[in-house]
Structure 1
Amino acid sequence: MRSMTPIPGDPWPHDMIITVDDRPHALLELLWVREAHGLVPVDDALPPLLVDRPAEAERPVGAQTRDHWAEVWPRIWDKAVAHAATEPDRTLFDRALDPTMGPDERETLLGQLVGPTARDEFGDDVFDDAAYREWERRGSDAHLATNRTTLADSPEHGDVATLADAWRRGLGKVVTLPCRGVYVRQIGPRALLVTDAVRNDAATYRTALESFRRSSSQRPSTA
Protein backbone atom coordinates (compact mmCIF):
# COMPACT_ATOMS: atom_id res chain seq x y z
CA MET A 1 0.00 0.00 0.00
CA ARG A 2 1.70 3.16 -1.17
CA SER A 3 1.06 6.33 -3.16
CA MET A 4 3.98 7.05 -5.49
CA THR A 5 3.51 10.83 -5.33
CA PRO A 6 1.70 13.19 -2.94
CA ILE A 7 -1.99 13.55 -3.81
CA PRO A 8 -3.66 16.81 -2.74
CA GLY A 9 -6.34 16.07 -0.16
CA ASP A 10 -5.24 12.46 0.33
CA PRO A 11 -4.39 11.86 4.02
CA TRP A 12 -2.26 8.81 3.15
CA PRO A 13 1.44 9.87 3.30
CA HIS A 14 2.81 9.23 -0.18
CA ASP A 15 5.91 7.47 1.19
CA MET A 16 4.07 5.26 3.71
CA ILE A 17 4.28 1.55 2.92
CA ILE A 18 2.22 -0.92 4.97
CA THR A 19 2.24 -4.63 4.18
CA VAL A 20 -0.78 -6.71 5.25
CA ASP A 21 -0.44 -10.51 5.36
CA ASP A 22 -3.98 -11.74 5.92
CA ARG A 23 -3.26 -15.39 5.11
CA PRO A 24 0.08 -16.35 6.71
CA HIS A 25 0.42 -19.93 5.51
CA ALA A 26 3.07 -21.12 7.99
CA LEU A 27 1.09 -19.80 10.95
CA LEU A 28 -2.15 -21.30 9.68
CA GLU A 29 -0.55 -24.73 9.40
CA LEU A 30 0.67 -24.52 12.99
CA LEU A 31 -2.77 -23.47 14.22
CA TRP A 32 -4.33 -26.42 12.42
CA VAL A 33 -1.87 -28.87 14.00
CA ARG A 34 -2.61 -27.43 17.43
CA GLU A 35 -6.36 -27.90 17.15
CA ALA A 36 -6.78 -30.89 14.85
CA HIS A 37 -4.43 -32.94 17.05
CA GLY A 38 -5.78 -31.60 20.34
CA LEU A 39 -2.52 -30.06 21.51
CA VAL A 40 -2.60 -27.95 24.66
CA PRO A 41 0.63 -25.93 24.51
CA VAL A 42 1.37 -23.73 27.51
CA ASP A 43 2.43 -20.10 26.98
CA ASP A 44 0.56 -16.92 27.84
CA ALA A 45 1.49 -15.32 24.49
CA LEU A 46 -0.27 -17.89 22.30
CA PRO A 47 -3.27 -16.87 20.16
CA PRO A 48 -6.88 -17.89 20.86
CA LEU A 49 -8.60 -20.81 19.15
CA LEU A 50 -9.55 -20.63 15.49
CA VAL A 51 -12.92 -19.21 14.47
CA ASP A 52 -13.41 -22.10 12.05
CA ARG A 53 -12.53 -25.04 14.24
CA PRO A 54 -11.09 -27.93 12.20
CA ALA A 55 -12.32 -31.47 12.49
CA GLU A 56 -10.15 -33.91 14.40
CA ALA A 57 -7.25 -35.17 12.30
CA GLU A 58 -8.10 -38.36 10.45
CA ARG A 59 -4.54 -39.56 11.02
CA PRO A 60 -4.09 -39.05 14.78
CA VAL A 61 -0.84 -39.63 16.60
CA GLY A 62 -0.23 -41.46 19.86
CA ALA A 63 -0.40 -39.81 23.27
CA GLN A 64 3.37 -39.69 23.69
CA THR A 65 3.87 -37.98 20.34
CA ARG A 66 1.02 -35.59 21.03
CA ASP A 67 2.54 -34.59 24.38
CA HIS A 68 5.90 -33.98 22.69
CA TRP A 69 4.24 -31.88 19.98
CA ALA A 70 2.46 -29.80 22.60
CA GLU A 71 5.76 -29.19 24.38
CA VAL A 72 7.65 -28.00 21.30
CA TRP A 73 4.75 -26.17 19.63
CA PRO A 74 5.29 -22.78 21.37
CA ARG A 75 8.95 -22.72 20.36
CA ILE A 76 8.13 -23.42 16.72
CA TRP A 77 5.29 -20.88 16.84
CA ASP A 78 7.59 -18.15 18.13
CA LYS A 79 10.11 -18.82 15.37
CA ALA A 80 7.43 -18.80 12.67
CA VAL A 81 5.93 -15.59 14.07
CA ALA A 82 9.34 -13.93 14.11
CA HIS A 83 9.79 -14.79 10.44
CA ALA A 84 6.27 -13.58 9.60
CA ALA A 85 7.22 -10.21 11.08
CA THR A 86 9.96 -9.69 8.49
CA GLU A 87 9.73 -8.47 4.91
CA PRO A 88 10.93 -10.90 2.21
CA ASP A 89 14.45 -10.31 0.95
CA ARG A 90 13.95 -9.57 -2.76
CA THR A 91 17.51 -10.58 -3.52
CA LEU A 92 16.69 -14.11 -2.36
CA PHE A 93 13.87 -14.32 -4.92
CA ASP A 94 16.26 -13.25 -7.66
CA ARG A 95 18.86 -15.80 -6.58
CA ALA A 96 16.24 -18.57 -6.50
CA LEU A 97 15.73 -18.07 -10.25
CA ASP A 98 19.40 -18.72 -11.00
CA PRO A 99 19.47 -21.85 -13.23
CA THR A 100 23.07 -22.59 -12.24
CA MET A 101 22.26 -23.00 -8.55
CA GLY A 102 22.83 -26.47 -7.11
CA PRO A 103 19.96 -28.37 -5.42
CA ASP A 104 21.44 -28.12 -1.91
CA GLU A 105 21.99 -24.38 -2.21
CA ARG A 106 18.48 -23.92 -3.62
CA GLU A 107 16.98 -25.87 -0.74
CA THR A 108 18.83 -23.69 1.76
CA LEU A 109 17.69 -20.56 -0.05
CA LEU A 110 14.06 -21.68 -0.10
CA GLY A 111 14.29 -22.41 3.61
CA GLN A 112 15.40 -18.83 4.22
CA LEU A 113 12.47 -17.53 2.17
CA VAL A 114 9.81 -19.71 3.78
CA GLY A 115 11.19 -19.60 7.31
CA PRO A 116 10.44 -22.10 10.11
CA THR A 117 7.31 -24.18 9.55
CA ALA A 118 5.28 -26.92 11.19
CA ARG A 119 6.66 -29.34 8.63
CA ASP A 120 10.19 -28.89 10.02
CA GLU A 121 9.12 -30.49 13.31
CA PHE A 122 6.03 -32.55 12.51
CA GLY A 123 6.85 -33.67 8.96
CA ASP A 124 5.00 -33.28 5.67
CA ASP A 125 2.88 -36.39 6.27
CA VAL A 126 0.88 -34.70 9.01
CA PHE A 127 -0.78 -32.56 6.33
CA ASP A 128 -1.61 -35.54 4.14
CA ASP A 129 -4.94 -35.62 5.92
CA ALA A 130 -8.46 -35.14 4.58
CA ALA A 131 -9.34 -33.03 7.62
CA TYR A 132 -6.55 -30.59 6.76
CA ARG A 133 -7.49 -30.42 3.09
CA GLU A 134 -11.12 -29.66 3.94
CA TRP A 135 -10.19 -27.00 6.48
CA GLU A 136 -7.70 -25.41 4.06
CA ARG A 137 -10.36 -25.35 1.32
CA ARG A 138 -12.88 -23.64 3.59
CA GLY A 139 -10.29 -21.08 4.63
CA SER A 140 -9.30 -20.29 1.05
CA ASP A 141 -12.94 -19.94 0.01
CA ALA A 142 -13.70 -17.64 2.93
CA HIS A 143 -10.64 -15.53 2.21
CA LEU A 144 -11.62 -15.09 -1.43
CA ALA A 145 -15.22 -14.29 -0.50
CA THR A 146 -14.20 -11.50 1.88
CA ASN A 147 -11.30 -10.15 -0.16
CA ARG A 148 -11.71 -6.43 -0.74
CA THR A 149 -11.70 -5.31 -4.35
CA THR A 150 -10.03 -1.93 -3.84
CA LEU A 151 -7.44 -0.53 -1.45
CA ALA A 152 -9.89 2.19 -0.49
CA ASP A 153 -12.10 -0.50 1.08
CA SER A 154 -9.33 -1.79 3.33
CA PRO A 155 -9.40 -1.21 7.10
CA GLU A 156 -6.10 0.65 6.76
CA HIS A 157 -7.88 3.40 4.82
CA GLY A 158 -10.55 3.66 7.52
CA ASP A 159 -8.31 5.57 9.91
CA VAL A 160 -5.28 6.75 8.00
CA ALA A 161 -4.25 9.23 10.68
CA THR A 162 -3.88 6.53 13.36
CA LEU A 163 -2.16 4.19 10.91
CA ALA A 164 0.26 6.92 9.86
CA ASP A 165 1.11 7.64 13.49
CA ALA A 166 1.94 3.96 14.01
CA TRP A 167 3.99 3.96 10.80
CA ARG A 168 5.99 6.94 12.06
CA ARG A 169 6.71 4.89 15.18
CA GLY A 170 8.08 2.11 12.97
CA LEU A 171 5.09 -0.04 11.93
CA GLY A 172 5.58 -1.59 8.52
CA LYS A 173 3.57 -4.81 8.56
CA VAL A 174 0.30 -6.22 9.92
CA VAL A 175 -0.22 -10.00 10.10
CA THR A 176 -3.70 -11.34 10.81
CA LEU A 177 -4.97 -14.65 12.19
CA PRO A 178 -8.46 -16.19 11.80
CA CYS A 179 -8.69 -16.70 15.55
CA ARG A 180 -11.42 -15.77 18.01
CA GLY A 181 -11.83 -12.46 19.77
CA VAL A 182 -9.30 -9.74 20.43
CA TYR A 183 -5.61 -10.60 20.29
CA VAL A 184 -2.89 -8.03 19.67
CA ARG A 185 0.82 -8.76 19.81
CA GLN A 186 3.74 -6.70 18.62
CA ILE A 187 6.16 -9.00 16.81
CA GLY A 188 9.58 -7.53 16.28
CA PRO A 189 10.27 -3.83 15.90
CA ARG A 190 8.08 -3.28 12.81
CA ALA A 191 5.11 -5.64 12.85
CA LEU A 192 1.80 -6.24 14.59
CA LEU A 193 -0.02 -9.58 14.91
CA VAL A 194 -3.80 -9.34 15.34
CA THR A 195 -6.91 -11.40 14.76
CA ASP A 196 -9.15 -10.77 11.77
CA ALA A 197 -11.78 -9.60 14.26
CA VAL A 198 -9.45 -6.84 15.43
CA ARG A 199 -8.61 -5.62 11.94
CA ASN A 200 -12.23 -5.70 10.81
CA ASP A 201 -13.54 -3.60 13.71
CA ALA A 202 -12.60 0.06 13.29
CA ALA A 203 -12.48 0.98 16.98
CA THR A 204 -10.57 -2.14 18.04
CA TYR A 205 -8.11 -1.80 15.16
CA ARG A 206 -7.50 1.82 16.11
CA THR A 207 -6.66 0.74 19.66
CA ALA A 208 -4.31 -1.95 18.33
CA LEU A 209 -2.50 0.54 16.11
CA GLU A 210 -2.24 3.00 18.98
CA SER A 211 -0.62 0.27 21.10
CA PHE A 212 2.27 -0.16 18.66
CA ARG A 213 5.59 1.03 20.06
CA ARG A 214 9.16 1.00 18.81
CA SER A 215 10.03 -1.57 21.49
CA SER A 216 9.16 -5.18 20.61
CA SER A 217 8.85 -6.33 24.23
CA GLN A 218 5.07 -6.08 24.53
CA ARG A 219 3.02 -9.12 25.41
CA PRO A 220 -0.26 -9.80 23.63
CA SER A 221 -3.52 -8.25 24.76
CA THR A 222 -6.59 -10.47 24.65
CA ALA A 223 -10.24 -10.21 25.43
Structure 2
Amino acid sequence: MVITIENAPHMLHELLWIREAWNLRVTGADLPPLLTNTPAPADADRPASIAEWRDGWAELWRECLAHAGEVHDPLMFDRLTQSAIGSDDRTTLLGKLRGPSWRDRFGDEALTEAFDDWNRAQFETLTSGLPQPYDESPERKSLDVLITAWRGGLTKLVLIPCRGTFTRPIGQSSLLLTDETRNDPIRYSEALRSVGSATKESR
Protein backbone atom coordinates (compact mmCIF):
# COMPACT_ATOMS: atom_id res chain seq x y z
CA MET A 1 0.00 0.00 0.00
CA VAL A 2 1.37 3.40 -1.02
CA ILE A 3 -0.34 6.65 -0.03
CA THR A 4 1.23 9.98 -1.01
CA ILE A 5 0.74 12.76 1.55
CA GLU A 6 1.12 16.27 0.13
CA ASN A 7 1.37 18.31 3.32
CA ALA A 8 2.70 21.56 1.85
CA PRO A 9 0.99 22.24 -1.49
CA HIS A 10 2.72 25.49 -2.39
CA MET A 11 0.25 26.84 -4.94
CA LEU A 12 -2.65 26.29 -2.54
CA HIS A 13 -0.73 27.94 0.29
CA GLU A 14 -0.15 30.99 -1.90
CA LEU A 15 -3.84 31.33 -2.67
CA LEU A 16 -4.95 30.85 0.93
CA TRP A 17 -2.44 33.42 2.19
CA ILE A 18 -3.33 35.98 -0.48
CA ARG A 19 -7.05 35.68 0.25
CA GLU A 20 -6.55 36.57 3.91
CA ALA A 21 -3.51 38.85 3.88
CA TRP A 22 -5.12 41.06 1.24
CA ASN A 23 -8.62 40.67 2.69
CA LEU A 24 -10.05 39.80 -0.70
CA ARG A 25 -13.48 38.89 0.66
CA VAL A 26 -13.92 36.20 -1.96
CA THR A 27 -17.47 34.92 -2.38
CA GLY A 28 -18.69 31.71 -3.95
CA ALA A 29 -19.70 28.16 -3.22
CA ASP A 30 -17.53 25.54 -1.53
CA LEU A 31 -14.66 27.79 -0.50
CA PRO A 32 -12.07 26.56 2.04
CA PRO A 33 -12.12 27.80 5.66
CA LEU A 34 -9.75 30.43 6.99
CA LEU A 35 -6.15 29.59 7.81
CA THR A 36 -5.25 28.25 11.24
CA ASN A 37 -2.21 30.54 11.35
CA THR A 38 -3.81 33.88 10.47
CA PRO A 39 -1.44 36.04 8.40
CA ALA A 40 -0.86 39.69 9.22
CA PRO A 41 -2.59 42.09 6.83
CA ALA A 42 -0.48 42.99 3.80
CA ASP A 43 1.22 46.28 4.63
CA ALA A 44 1.52 47.42 1.02
CA ASP A 45 -0.92 49.88 -0.55
CA ARG A 46 -3.91 48.12 -2.06
CA PRO A 47 -3.25 48.02 -5.81
CA ALA A 48 -5.72 48.87 -8.50
CA SER A 49 -5.79 45.20 -9.50
CA ILE A 50 -7.26 44.09 -6.14
CA ALA A 51 -10.74 43.71 -7.66
CA GLU A 52 -9.32 41.51 -10.40
CA TRP A 53 -7.59 39.38 -7.76
CA ARG A 54 -10.82 38.99 -5.82
CA ASP A 55 -12.88 38.10 -8.89
CA GLY A 56 -10.35 35.56 -10.18
CA TRP A 57 -9.46 33.89 -6.90
CA ALA A 58 -12.16 31.21 -6.74
CA GLU A 59 -11.63 30.06 -10.32
CA LEU A 60 -7.88 29.78 -9.84
CA TRP A 61 -8.43 27.93 -6.55
CA ARG A 62 -10.50 25.31 -8.37
CA GLU A 63 -7.86 24.94 -11.08
CA CYS A 64 -5.00 24.61 -8.59
CA LEU A 65 -7.03 22.20 -6.48
CA ALA A 66 -7.75 19.98 -9.48
CA HIS A 67 -4.05 19.91 -10.33
CA ALA A 68 -3.11 19.12 -6.71
CA GLY A 69 -5.37 16.08 -6.90
CA GLU A 70 -3.64 14.64 -9.95
CA VAL A 71 -1.36 11.65 -9.60
CA HIS A 72 1.44 12.11 -12.11
CA ASP A 73 2.92 9.34 -14.20
CA PRO A 74 6.40 8.54 -12.78
CA LEU A 75 7.67 8.43 -16.35
CA MET A 76 7.01 12.18 -16.56
CA PHE A 77 9.79 12.78 -14.03
CA ASP A 78 12.13 10.56 -16.03
CA ARG A 79 11.34 12.55 -19.16
CA LEU A 80 12.00 15.77 -17.27
CA THR A 81 15.47 14.72 -16.13
CA GLN A 82 16.31 13.57 -19.65
CA SER A 83 15.08 16.75 -21.34
CA ALA A 84 17.51 19.50 -22.30
CA ILE A 85 17.58 22.62 -20.14
CA GLY A 86 15.73 25.39 -21.93
CA SER A 87 14.05 23.05 -24.41
CA ASP A 88 10.37 23.31 -25.30
CA ASP A 89 9.83 19.77 -24.05
CA ARG A 90 11.28 20.65 -20.64
CA THR A 91 9.14 23.79 -20.39
CA THR A 92 6.01 21.80 -21.24
CA LEU A 93 6.80 19.09 -18.69
CA LEU A 94 7.55 21.62 -15.95
CA GLY A 95 4.26 23.35 -16.66
CA LYS A 96 2.33 20.09 -16.37
CA LEU A 97 4.06 19.18 -13.10
CA ARG A 98 3.70 22.62 -11.54
CA GLY A 99 0.22 23.37 -12.78
CA PRO A 100 -1.56 26.74 -12.72
CA SER A 101 -0.21 29.40 -10.37
CA TRP A 102 -1.02 32.82 -8.99
CA ARG A 103 2.15 34.32 -10.49
CA ASP A 104 1.30 33.07 -13.98
CA ARG A 105 -2.19 34.57 -13.75
CA PHE A 106 -1.63 37.81 -11.80
CA GLY A 107 2.11 38.35 -11.43
CA ASP A 108 3.99 38.53 -8.13
CA GLU A 109 2.77 41.85 -6.71
CA ALA A 110 0.53 40.15 -4.14
CA LEU A 111 3.28 37.85 -2.85
CA THR A 112 5.25 40.13 -0.58
CA GLU A 113 8.04 39.17 1.83
CA ALA A 114 5.33 38.62 4.42
CA PHE A 115 4.27 35.51 2.51
CA ASP A 116 7.80 34.12 2.74
CA ASP A 117 7.77 34.73 6.49
CA TRP A 118 4.38 33.06 6.89
CA ASN A 119 5.37 30.13 4.70
CA ARG A 120 8.59 29.67 6.67
CA ALA A 121 6.60 29.58 9.91
CA GLN A 122 4.31 26.95 8.38
CA PHE A 123 7.32 24.81 7.48
CA GLU A 124 8.77 25.13 10.97
CA THR A 125 5.46 24.07 12.50
CA LEU A 126 5.22 21.15 10.11
CA THR A 127 8.71 19.86 10.90
CA SER A 128 8.86 20.66 14.63
CA GLY A 129 7.43 17.30 15.66
CA LEU A 130 9.47 15.16 13.26
CA PRO A 131 10.40 12.39 13.22
CA GLN A 132 7.15 11.09 14.65
CA PRO A 133 7.00 7.62 16.25
CA TYR A 134 5.25 5.23 13.88
CA ASP A 135 2.59 4.19 16.41
CA GLU A 136 1.66 7.85 17.01
CA SER A 137 1.25 8.78 13.34
CA PRO A 138 -2.28 9.64 12.14
CA GLU A 139 -2.07 6.89 9.52
CA ARG A 140 -1.22 4.25 12.10
CA LYS A 141 -4.08 5.32 14.38
CA SER A 142 -6.55 5.05 11.48
CA LEU A 143 -4.83 2.20 9.67
CA ASP A 144 -7.84 -0.07 9.15
CA VAL A 145 -9.92 2.73 7.63
CA LEU A 146 -6.93 3.90 5.56
CA ILE A 147 -6.51 0.42 4.08
CA THR A 148 -10.19 0.34 3.16
CA ALA A 149 -9.91 3.77 1.53
CA TRP A 150 -6.82 2.65 -0.40
CA ARG A 151 -8.70 -0.41 -1.63
CA GLY A 152 -11.45 1.98 -2.70
CA GLY A 153 -8.96 3.84 -4.90
CA LEU A 154 -7.35 6.44 -2.62
CA THR A 155 -3.68 7.06 -3.43
CA LYS A 156 -3.09 10.68 -2.38
CA LEU A 157 -3.94 13.04 0.48
CA VAL A 158 -3.63 16.81 0.04
CA LEU A 159 -3.53 18.78 3.30
CA ILE A 160 -4.34 22.45 3.83
CA PRO A 161 -3.60 24.42 7.04
CA CYS A 162 -7.18 25.61 7.51
CA ARG A 163 -9.55 25.64 10.46
CA GLY A 164 -12.07 22.94 11.18
CA THR A 165 -13.19 20.23 8.79
CA PHE A 166 -13.11 20.62 5.02
CA THR A 167 -12.95 17.25 3.28
CA ARG A 168 -13.40 16.99 -0.48
CA PRO A 169 -12.55 14.35 -3.10
CA ILE A 170 -10.30 15.89 -5.76
CA GLY A 171 -9.63 13.90 -8.88
CA GLN A 172 -10.29 10.18 -9.09
CA SER A 173 -7.94 9.05 -6.32
CA SER A 174 -7.12 12.04 -4.09
CA LEU A 175 -8.67 13.56 -1.00
CA LEU A 176 -8.39 17.12 0.32
CA LEU A 177 -8.59 17.66 4.07
CA THR A 178 -7.34 20.02 6.75
CA ASP A 179 -4.39 19.42 9.04
CA GLU A 180 -6.82 19.57 11.96
CA THR A 181 -8.84 16.71 10.51
CA ARG A 182 -5.79 14.52 9.93
CA ASN A 183 -4.56 15.10 13.48
CA ASP A 184 -7.87 14.02 15.02
CA PRO A 185 -8.27 10.21 14.78
CA ILE A 186 -12.07 10.34 14.79
CA ARG A 187 -12.37 13.06 12.16
CA TYR A 188 -9.59 11.51 10.10
CA SER A 189 -11.34 8.15 10.05
CA GLU A 190 -14.59 9.84 9.02
CA ALA A 191 -12.78 11.63 6.19
CA LEU A 192 -11.25 8.38 4.96
CA ARG A 193 -14.63 6.64 5.08
CA SER A 194 -15.96 9.33 2.74
CA VAL A 195 -13.75 7.86 0.01
CA GLY A 196 -15.88 4.73 -0.04
CA SER A 197 -19.07 6.81 -0.11
CA ALA A 198 -17.81 8.90 -3.02
CA THR A 199 -16.84 5.75 -4.94
CA LYS A 200 -20.30 4.29 -4.51
CA GLU A 201 -21.99 7.53 -5.61
CA SER A 202 -19.88 7.68 -8.77
CA ARG A 203 -20.95 4.26 -9.92
Normalised to the residue count of structure 1, the TM-score between the two structures is 0.82
How far apart in 1 are the matches of 2:45 and 2:179? 29
Post-superposition offset of 1:101: 5.1
Q: 1:216 to 1:18 in 2, by over 3 A?
A: farther
Post-superposition offset of 1:189: 1.6
In the alignment, is the contact (CA less than 8 A) between 2:36 and 2:162 conserved in 1?
yes
How far apart in 2 are the matches of 1:146 and 1:76? 32
1:37 aligned residue: 22
Aligned-partner residue type, residue 175 of structure 1:
V
CA RMSD in angstroms, aligned pairs only: 1.9
Listed as ranges, the gaps of 5+ residues in structure 2 are none
1:149 aligned residue: 132
Which of 49, 55, 73 aligns to 1:65? It is: 49
- Residue correspondences, number: 200
- What does 1:50-199 correspond to in 2, within 5 Å? 50-62=35-47, 64-98=48-82, 100=84, 102-127=86-111, 129-199=112-182
The C-alpha deviation readout for 1:133-160, integer Å capped at 9, x for no partner, is 2111211111111334354432111121
Post-superposition offset of 1:164: 1.2
User: Structure 1 or 2: larger helix share?
Assistant: 2
Over the matched positions of the two proteins, sequence identity in percent amounts to: 40
Aligned-partner residue type, residue 25 of structure 2:
V
How far apart in 1 are the matches of 2:168 and 2:103? 24
How far apart in 1 are the matches of 2:201 and 2:86? 38
How far apart in 2 are the matches of 1:38 and 1:60? 12
In the alignment, is the contact (CA less than 8 A) between 1:39 and 1:70 conserved in 2?
yes
Listed as ranges, the gaps of 5+ residues in structure 1 are 1-15, 218-223
1:49 aligned residue: 34
Aligned-partner residue type, residue 163 of structure 1:
L
Which of 12, 16, 21 aligns to 1:27? It is: 12
The C-alpha deviation readout for 1:81-106, integer Å capped at 9, x for no partner, is 11111123322222222353543332
Normalised to the residue count of structure 2, the TM-score between the two structures is 0.90
Post-superposition offset of 1:49: 0.4
In the alignment, is the contact (CA less than 8 A) between 1:166 and 1:209 conserved in 2?
yes
Post-superposition offset of 1:108: 2.0
How far apart in 1 are the matches of 2:83 and 2:58? 37
Q: Which runs of 4+ in 1 moved over 4 A?
A: none
Highest RCO, 1 vs 2 (Cα 8 Å, sep ≥ 6): 2
How far apart in 1 are the matches of 2:201 and 2:97? 22
Report the secondary structure of 1:186's partner residue: strand
In the alignment, is the contact (CA less than 8 A) between 2:165 and 2:180 conserved in 1?
yes
